[in-house]
């Protein structure tokens, strides 16, 4: 019959408990990193249309030729549910109340950028349909 040493048995149990604790901490950290990665991906997907549209605004207003501007306009319109998607431009805001310039459409606004050769507005808000197409644009003057 083998007799176990109580001190070595206690050390073995403490070592196993420490190992379990370390594994649990590693698993928790892995879950935390995965959650951070999912949040970063969601944020990227959320901001992607804003970035793309802003890039199109810049490309259209800075294009070197009419053909280039028209090509950028055609590409930009693929982001929208329709070329008649409303564009609202905030001209003032006070106490949460917004005053808008005369509404226009995205088709008209993109052609305005082409004609003016400058983009003086920034994207405030975009609304989307179930297909991920933009259904409304709210712009504000750049500061």
Share of the chain above pLDDT 90, in %: 67
Asked if 60 and 69 touch (Cβ cutoff 8 Å), the reply is: yes
**Whole-prediction pTM:** 0.69
> Which residues are CB-neighbours of 101 under 8 A, at least 6 positions away?
88, 89, 90, 91
CA 59/CA 55 separation, integer angstroms: 6
The phi-psi region of residue 142 (left if phi > 0; otherwise alpha if psi is between -120 and 50; otherwise beta) is: beta
Task: Please tell me the predicted confidence (pLDDT) of residue 142.
Answer: 78
């Amino acid at each position: 019959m083998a007799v176990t040493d109580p001190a070595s048995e206690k050390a073995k149990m403490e070592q196993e408990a420490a190992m379990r604790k370390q594994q649990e901490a590693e698993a928790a950290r892995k879950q935390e990193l995965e959650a951070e990665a999912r949040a970063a991906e969601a944020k990227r997907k959320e901001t992607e249309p804003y970035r793309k549209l802003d890039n199109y605004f810049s490309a259209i207003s800075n294009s070197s030729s009419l053909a280039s501007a028209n090509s950028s306009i055609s590409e930009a319109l693929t982001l929208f549910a329709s070329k008649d998607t409303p564009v609202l431009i905030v001209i003032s805001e006070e106490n949460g109340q917004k005053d808008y310039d005369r509404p226009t459409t995205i088709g008209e606004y993109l052609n305005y950028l082409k004609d003016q050769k400058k983009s003086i507005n920034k994207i405030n808000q975009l609304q989307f349909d179930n297909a991920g197409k933009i259904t409304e644009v709210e712009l504000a003057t750049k500061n």
